[in-house]
A and B are shown apart, each in its own frame.
Chain A
Amino acid sequence: MEAPFVNPQEDTAAEAIEAIGDELDVFDDWMERYQYIIEMGRKLPPFPPEWCNDAHRVPGCQSQVWLEEKEADGRLYFAGLSDAAIVCGLVALLLRVYSGRTREEIQATDPGFLRDLGLVQALSTNRGNGVEAMARAIRTAAAVSA
C-alpha cells in the first residue's frame, strides 16, 4: 500500500504486539523506552498536511490526533499523525498492529495490549491521551460494513 498508509511488518496483529513488546523490553529505563516510541512516530510515512483538519481529527484527546483509512484487497489500511511526539509514537505503534489487517482481525485484537505493555496506565479512563480514542476509531472503522 502506498504512503501515507502503513504496511504491516508482521504477518498478524498478535505477532506485531509480541514484536513491539520484545523491542521495548530491551530498555531498562522508561525515558529510553519513550525515546524509542518517539522514534517510531518519526518514522511514520509523512501524513498529508491537508488531512490535518477537523474531518480527520479523532475527538476526545487533548493532543491532536488525525486518522485516515483506506480499504484494499479486503484489508483496512490506516494513516495517522499526532502533534505530540509520544502520542505520535503510540499512533505508529497502533498502526503497526492494526493497519493492513482484515476487519475481523482488527475487531478481534483488543487494544488492552497498550496497557499490558505499560504504555497507557488506564486505557478506558486516560481521556487526555488520545490513544484510546484512536484505538476506538480504528476498531469502529473495522466494524462499519464496507
Chain B
Amino acid sequence: MSTQTPTVHAVPQLDVHAIRQQFPILGEKVHDRPLVFLDSAASAQKPNAVIDCMANTMRHQYANIHRGLHWMSERTTEAYEGVRDLVADFLNAPSREEIVFTRNSTEAINLVAHSFGALLKPGQAVLISQMEHHANLVPWQMLRDWAGIDLRVAPITDDGDLDIEAYKALLADGKVALVAITHMSNVLGTITPAKQIADMAHAAGAQVLFDGSQSVVHHKTDVQALGADFYTFTGHKLYGPTGIGVLWGRRDLLEQMPPFLGGGDMISTVTFEHSTWANIPHKFEAGTPAIVETIGLGAAIEWVNKIGFDGIAAHEADLTTHALQRLATVPGLNIVGHPRVRGGVVSFTMADVHPHDIATLLDRNGIAIRAGHHCAEPLMRRLGLSATARASFGIYTQKEEIDVLADTLVRIRDFFV
C-alpha cells in the first residue's frame, strides 16, 4: 500500500436497498403510487425483526411476568427483563435498575414531573426551552400549578439554536432545580449541545433531563458522557412498537422519588393501612406492563445495533444535506430553522401555499409528510408561523425519495402561481 495515501476515515455505507427489503410496508402503494414515507419523526416503520419477534412472543412464549411460578412466566420475564439490559447498554446507563419502562416519552416526562416534582419546593424553578414539544412543556405547566414552582423558558435564536447566553442568565439565581430540554427538536431538527447544557445546569445546582425521542434514533446516545440526570425516549420512533417508552434516571434521584402510579408489581408489602414500595425500577412500574411491546423494543434495539450508528448517522447526514440542497432549488420554498448541528428533520413553508395544501397534494402523489404545528404551538408562535410542512428521514429513506419530494413540490408550486 502506498504510504502517500491519506488516511480516510471509513464511513460504513448502509445497504439501503437491503434494509428496505426488511420493511414490508415500504412495498405498499398509496393512491396507486409507490409509498414515499417521509414522516419517520412522527413514527418510524417497523422491520420484520420487530414484527416477527412480537408475533413469535405471542405465538410461542407469552405469560404475565414477575409473578408466575411456571415455565412460561419465567421465560417471558427473562425476555422482558433482558430488554432492560439492552436499553441500559443502548444508553450506556450505569445500571439496569435505572431503566424504567413507560408507555412513551410523554409518560416518562410526566413521571419525572410528578415524582421528581414532588421533591421541589415553592420558589424553585424548572427551565425548558422555546423549542419543546408539548410533551416537555405541558407536564411542567401542570407541576407549576400544583406545586407553586416557577416555569422558565430559555429562548432560541432566529436560526433555531438554544440561546446559550440567555440560558445561562436564567440559571444564574440558583433557583432552577431541573432543566428539561430536547436533545433534538422535532420541528427544527436542532441537535442541542447537551453536554454544555448539562455542565451549565450542574454548575448552577440543577439536574437535567433530556427528551431524546428524536435524537436516539439518529446517533449513539451515552447518558454518562452527556452528563444527563434523566433521559427519555420512545420505542415507536426507533423502529419499535408503540406503547413502550423509557425513562433513564440517576439511581440516587430515582430512589428519592415517590412512586408515580400505585398498584401491583410496584409494592414490597401491602396492608389495608399502609404499603411499602418495591425497589427501583419496579417502584415506577405499576400494573402489568406492555410485555410484548417491551420485548419488541428489545428486537428494535438489537436490529439497530446490528446496523450500527456509524452507518446510520452517516446515511442520515447525507440525506439531510441532500434534502437541504434539493429543497433550496424549489421556487418559493423557505427552510424553517438553520441550526448549527441538525438531524434528519427538515421543516419548510412555501410562499402562498398553506402547509396543509402541500401535505394533501403530496399525499395524492404517494408522499407522506407531516403538516401542522407538530405539537409545538409555542415554538410556532415564536417562529411567527401557524404551521409548517416537515419531511423527516430514517434508515430506509433513499435520496431518490427526496428527489421525488422536491420535484413534486415544484409541481405544487406551479399549481398555485
Chain A residues with CB under 8 Å of chain B are 30-31, 34-35, 38, 62-64, 83-87, 128
Contact = CB atoms under 8 A, between A and B. Distances in A.
Contacts of B318: none
A40 B301 CA distance: 50
Given A30-B31, A30-B364, A31-B361, A62 B356 contact: yes
A30 B364 CA distance: 7
A62 B372 contact: yes
Contacts of B387: 62-63
B416 interface: yes
B357 A84 contact: yes
Contact of A128 (B31, B356, B365): B356
Interface string B360-378: 1100110000011100000
A64 B355 CA distance: 12
A64 B372 contact: no
B354 interface: yes
A128 B372 contact: yes
Contacts of A64: 386
A62 B373 contact: yes
Nearest to B416: A85
A62 B361 contact: no
A34 B360 contact: yes
Give the most central of A30, A38, A83, A84: most B CB within 10 Å. A84
5 pairs of A and B residues whose beta carbons are closest in the complex: A84-B354, A84-B356, A63-B356, A62-B372, A30-B364
B29 interface: no
Contacts of B415: 31, 34-35, 38
B383 interface: no
Given A62-B387, A64-B386, 7 more contacts: A31-B411, A34-B364, A38-B416, A83-B354, A83-B386, A84-B357, A85-B354
29 contacts: A31-B361, A31-B415, A34-B360, A34-B415, A38-B416, A62-B356, A62-B371, A62-B372, A62-B373, A62-B387, A63-B356, A63-B387, A64-B386, A83-B354, A83-B386, A84-B354, A84-B355, A84-B357, A85-B353, A85-B354, A85-B357, A85-B416, A86-B356, A86-B361, A87-B354, A87-B356, A128-B356, A128-B371, A128-B372
Nearest to A62: B372
Interface of B: 31, 353-357, 360-361, 364-365, 371-373, 386-387, 411, 415-416
Contacts of B360: 34, 86
Nearest to B370: A128
A84 B356 CA distance: 6
Contacts of A86: 356-357, 360-361
Contacts of B356: 62-63, 84, 86-87, 128
Nearest to A32: B415
Nearest to A61: B356
Contacts of B354: 63, 83-85, 87
Contacts of B371: 62, 128
B298 to A, nearest CB: 31
Give the most central of A30, A35, A64: most B CB within 10 Å. A30
A37 to B, nearest CB: 10
Contacts of B365: 31
Contacts of A31: 361, 364-365, 411, 415
B362 to A, nearest CB: 11
B351 to A, nearest CB: 13
A64 B365 CA distance: 24
A34 B414 CA distance: 13
B77 to A, nearest CB: 37
B273 to A, nearest CB: 47
Contacts of A38: 357, 415-416
Nearest to A120: B360
B69 to A, nearest CB: 44
Nearest to B365: A31
A87 B364 CA distance: 15
A86 B353 CA distance: 10
A35 B357 CA distance: 11
A63 B354 CA distance: 8
